[in-house]
Amino acid sequence: MTHDTLLVHGGQPLRGEIRVRGAKNLVPKAMVAALLGHTASRIQNVPELRDVEIVRSLLSLHGVGVTTGERDDELRIDSSRVQQADPGKAVAHAGSSRIPILFSGPLLHRLGQAFIPGLGGCEIGGRALDFHFQVLRDFGAEIEPRPDGVHLRAPQRLRGIDIRLPYPSVGATEQVLLTAALAEGDTELRNAAIEPEILDLICVLQKMGAIITLASDRTIVISGVDSLDGYIHRALPDRLETASWACAALATKGDIYVRGASQTEMTAFLYTYRRVGGLFDVDEDGIRFQHPGRPLSAISLETDVHPGFQTDWQQPLLTVLALAEGTSRIHETVYESRLGLTAGLKKMGTDVQLSEECLGARPCRFEGQNHQHSAVISGSPRLQAGDLKIPDLRGGFAYLIAALAAKGTSRLDGISLIDRGYERFLQKLQDLGADVQLITS
């Protein structure tokens, strides 16, 4: 990752229109799913993101043809000639993404072997990969860790399993779906994640010929089939990016129309946005987010898996609550280290205290584990400019929002990390009237 620096001359409202395209948490996974098909796939509404480019590069290394379709937001993926990638090249192309772990099941089905390079990702809490590999072992894979990464083999066809997740993890649910679709027999996954991006991935797999059903109790049953075809699918819009721009509108006292945004996947966020005081209007093309023109309200907030308030919405909203009138409380129940961004916000004048206690309506899995996963924020209408280092993807955008709201010039180092989840964000900032300057090193 390059350590680009963004100078942000804040204090001006963001006004205007931007567009969001397909979800970061769906598109790269749907690209991986194309490996399972013996005919070509087409995915539409594809954003220009670093994670998309990483997956595209890794697919190409495996002999998969990835070309742009008739529109610039469409990719055509032909995996009819999939082959084993050179491990050295795979390591060089993996980047800081954790998505390569999801190549395991599809490659084991198609080639009988797979290589997974060392993985990175945002440091926001426990996201251990051991569980992924244990699931693959249960399916019948043989796994050998080596210095360059993890080598996997499937001497026989993978077979279905019965598994209950200790926590409804998105990554673990994706791993099971992508592996079970071609496994022999039935797979029953209990306590599964049911985020909108998971449901969209299920739609992709069903279009390919997979037999998948979802019960009301978070149970997914996959009946393995002998082969899958390609798909044609339009990715659902990115609700996490949409929420980030909505928070930017509130923090800067602005007015932003997010074209392409969808209300259906954002009901929990929109409910909370209105509680804080934000205004929004929904039409058939997107959602308009506005500051109310009066002080924002403090709230108590608890993150949760879908359909609760998403953890990825929490960090940008925390910056908004730092500007609200009164004392807010946040209880983070998904990632135990997600409140680490508060260190930078304190430098900008935010009065925030972290706690190991569960400051929510219910205890959570971090109770008694010495994780500072709750925050008390005493709001103030002003932030001061500061020099900060981007900590992670969503925390980085939260810092960006704070810099846009603060008067004076802030310096944000490592801004290129935001490219992973926000398409053309610098251009969008300029379209909204932000005064920013990128300095590369």
Provide the 8-state DSSP code for 325: B
Spatial CB neighbours of 153, under 8 Å, sequence gap ≥ 6 = 108, 112, 113, 141, 142, 144
Residue 81 confidence (pLDDT) = 95
| Structure-block tokens of residue 86 | 């050179």
pLDDT score recorded for residue 97: 73
Q: What is the pLDDT at residue 123? A: 47
Please state the rounded mean pLDDT for residues 412-434: 94
Any idea which of 280-289, 358-367, 392-401 has the lowest mean pLDDT?
358-367
Listed residue (361, 360, 358, 339) closest to 350, CA to CA: 339
Q: pLDDT band at residue 295, thresholds of 50, 70 and 90?
A: very high
- Tell me: pLDDT of 325 over 80: yes
Which of 63, 153, 155 is closest to 114 using CA atoms? 153
- The residue type at 116: I
In whole angstroms, what is the distance from residue 246 CA to residue 310 CA? 14
Active site residues: 122
68 class by beta-carbon count within 10 Å (0-12 exposed, 13-18 middle, 19+ buried): exposed
Q: What are the tokens at 65?
A: 């043809």
Higher pLDDT, 120 or 263: 263
Q: At what angle do helices 267-276 and 239-251 cross, to 10 degrees?
A: 10
Percent of the chain, pLDDT > 90?
A: 84
Element (H, E) at 173: helix 170-180
Burial class (CB within 10 angstroms; exposed 0-12, middle 13-18, buried 19+) of 67: exposed
Across 110-124, 228-242, 340-354, 407-421, least confident range:
110-124
pLDDT for the residue numbered 3: 56
Q: Which two tokens stand for residue 400?
A: 């960006």
Cα 322 from chain centroid (whole Å): 24
Q: Which range among 59-63, 304-308, 358-362 shows the weakest confidence by mean pLDDT?
A: 358-362
Contact 231, 207 (CB under 8 A): yes
Q: Say if CB 282 and CB 259 are below 8 A apart.
A: no
pLDDT in tens, 211-226: 999 999 999 999 999 9
Q: What is the pLDDT of residue 147?
A: 85
Pairing of strands 186-190, 162-164: parallel
> What percentage of the chain reaches a pLDDT higher than 70?
96
Give strand ranges (E) for 55-170.
65-68, 74-78, 113-117, 142-146, 149-153, 162-164
Which token pair is 175? 């791993």
Average pLDDT over residues 395-407: 97
122 against 103, higher pLDDT: 103
Predicted local confidence at residue 230, as pLDDT: 98
* pLDDT (mean) for 289-299: 98
* pLDDT of 209 strictly over 90: yes
What does the pLDDT average to over 326-339? 94
Q: Rounded to whole angstroms, how far apart are CA atoms 201 and 174?
A: 8
Average pLDDT value for residue range 396-424: 94
Amino acid at 296: L
pLDDT higher than 80, residue 8: yes
Task: Give yes or no for a contact between 85 and 12, defined as CB atoms under 8 angstroms apart.
Answer: no
Judged by average pLDDT, the poorest of 140-154, 229-243, 265-279 is: 140-154
Over residues 125-146, the mean pLDDT reads 85
Q: Tokens 């430098």 map to which residue?
A: 347
The predicted model gives 237-264 an average pLDDT of 98
Instruction: Please report the pLDDT score of residue 1 as a whole number.
Output: 41
Using an 8 Å Cβ cutoff, are 201 and 33 in contact? yes
Phi, psi of 211, rounded to the nearest 5 degrees: -105, 105
Q: What are phi and psi of 432, to 5 degrees?
A: -90, 5
DSSP state of 263: S
3-state percent helix, strand, coil for the chain, nearest multiple of 5: 35, 25, 40
Residue 426 in tokens: 């610098």
Residue positions counted in the chain:
441
Query: According to the model, what pLDDT value does residue 148 have?
Result: 84
pLDDT in tens, 341-354: 999 999 999 999 99
H-helix or E-strand spanning residue 212: strand 211-214
User: Rounded distance, CA 293 to CA 311, Å?
Assistant: 27
How high does pLDDT run on average in the chain? 94
pLDDT of residue 96: 63
Q: Does 371 or 97 have the greater pLDDT score? A: 371
What confidence tier does 383 reach under pLDDT thresholds 50, 70, 90? very high
**In which band, very low, low, confident or very high, does the pLDDT at 128 lie, cut at 50, 70 and 90?**
low
Place of tokens 């006004």: 15
Average pLDDT of the segment spanning 62-79? 95
Q: What is the mean pLDDT of residues 360-384?
A: 91
The pTM is what?
Answer: 0.94
The answer for residues whose C-beta is within 8 angstroms of residue 132's C-beta and 6 or more apart is 101, 104, 171, 172, 175
Is-contact 289 249, C-beta < 8 A?
yes
